[in-house]
Amino acid sequence: MLDCIIIGAGPCGLSAAIEMQDRGLSVEVIEKGNIVEAIYQYPTHQTFFSSSEKLEIGGVPFINKELKPRRQDALVYYREVVRRKGITIRPFETVQQIHRIEEGFEVISLRGEQTMARTAHAVVLATGYYGLPNKMDVPGEDLPHVFHYFKEGHPFYGQDVVVIGGKNSSVDAAIELEKAGARVTMLYRGANYSPSIKPWVLPNFESLVRAEKVKMIFDATIEEITPTDVVYSVDGKSVAVPADFVFAMTGYTPDIGLFADAGVALDPETGIPTYDEETMESNVTGIYIAGVVAAGYDANKIFIENGRFHGELIATNLVGRLERMTARP
């Protein structure tokens, strides 16, 4: 039996694994993709808000020539951390269930068609924020040319592309698409530019709009997506805009189904799991929370730069718990 199983190989999950290993605990990390899968899903040219030193984990320096690293820099860094620290990763496994057993938990996961079962005294839920895209609940949203994640603009050269949304992910996608030669229309339900747009990005985007390289529509309500168009309304008037492809960049929510199945209590309005801020232990003894999922539906409270410290709290508490278990007559 392992001392701990961590579900999620993002920076916060990896940080927790390192803290446990440094204290002599046995730990494995299960990840439905591969290490830092959420970062891998970022747009190819994504730049972080944080400086490289604020993304460091495990005492491994993040050396970068620029103040703010890009996606590729982070992927290289976290791969190197896993290699140096010898963290055991179980990639491409999706956790299906967590069962309570006498000395801890049994974690059931699926890799392809193979079912895996592992046991541990404790479990850390570090599943991240970008598990599920927010759906608009409009006809046509599930058509094959509609995407909720943006990677890069090259495949969309010469295509009519509609970007739905008006915050950072939408603006970044629109800029990259225009740069790659797509004809871009952006539909946003807000009346003006979102204040959350990165201040060093907004002037560039505004210049594209002024030059009519990107068509920006405010106060737009999406009514329907068809194989050839996006139908929206402004002030009650319906308009159809051509769309070979659609990027619905409408935000994301954590996949909290596993939390509920494991018995972790969740606030129905905020999605925040019940946990002790000093130990990160949930209302289920032996199940801990790490990273951005501790903030529920609000992704603006916890980032890598503060979530990376959760592992130390968890490891310290778990060591004490295991010592008490060993000392029992």
Average pLDDT of span 81-107:
95
pLDDT in the model for residue 140: 96
- CA dihedral sign of residues 135, 136, 137, 143: negative
Lowest mean pLDDT among 72-76, 103-107, 193-197, 288-292: 193-197
Give dist(CA 134, CA 136) in Å, integer. Answer: 7
pLDDT in the model for residue 299: 64
Average pLDDT of span 141-164:
96
Give percent of the chain above pLDDT 90: 72
Give percent of the chain above pLDDT 70: 97
Pairing, β 146-147 against β 245-248: parallel
Closest CA to 73 of 46, 106, 34, 41: 46
Give the length of the chain: 329
Residue type (1 letter), 57? I
Lowest mean pLDDT among 127-131, 308-312, 320-324: 127-131
Q: What is the pTM of this model?
A: 0.85
- Identify the CATH number of the domain defined by range 135-248: 3.50.50.60
Distances (CA, A) of 240 to 51, 128, 170, 213, 225: 42, 36, 20, 19, 9
pLDDT in the model for residue 300: 64
Average pLDDT of span 67-90:
95
Reduced to 3 states (helix: H, G, I; strand: E, B; else coil), residue 313 is helix
Angle between helices 202-210 and 168-179 (to 10 degrees): 50
Lowest mean pLDDT among 65-69, 161-165, 211-215: 65-69
Reported confidence tier of residue 200, pLDDT bands at 50, 70, 90:
confident
Reported confidence tier of residue 260, pLDDT bands at 50, 70, 90:
confident
pLDDT in the model for residue 296: 80
The residue assigned the tokens 């620029």 is 66
For residues 249-282, b (16+ Cβ closer than 10 Å) or e, as one string? bbbbbbebebbeebebebeeeebbbebeeebbbb
* Domain spans, the chain: 2-131+252-327, 135-248
In the 8-state DSSP scheme, what is residue 185?
Answer: E
Mean pLDDT, the chain, rounded, equals: 92
- Cβ atoms within 10 Å, residue 212: 8
Pick the CATH number of 2-131+252-327 from 3.30.830.10, 3.40.1260.20, 3.50.50.60, 3.20.20.70: 3.50.50.60
Contact 264/287 with Cβ under 8 angstroms?
yes
Reported confidence tier of residue 178, pLDDT bands at 50, 70, 90:
very high
Does pLDDT of 328 surpass 60?
no
Tokens representing 131 are: 């598990």
Tokens representing 247 are: 């990027």
Report the Cα–Cα distance between both ends of the chain, in Å, rounded.
20
Give dist(CA 165, CA 311) in Å, integer. Answer: 34
Reported confidence tier of residue 2, pLDDT bands at 50, 70, 90:
very high
pLDDT in the model for residue 197: 86
Does pLDDT of 111 surpass 60?
yes
Instruction: Report pLDDT digits (tens) over 233-254.
Output: 999 999 999 999 999 999 887 7
Asked if the domains 2-131+252-327 and 135-248 are classified in one and the same CATH topology, the answer is: yes
pLDDT in the model for residue 134: 86
Reported confidence tier of residue 49, pLDDT bands at 50, 70, 90:
confident
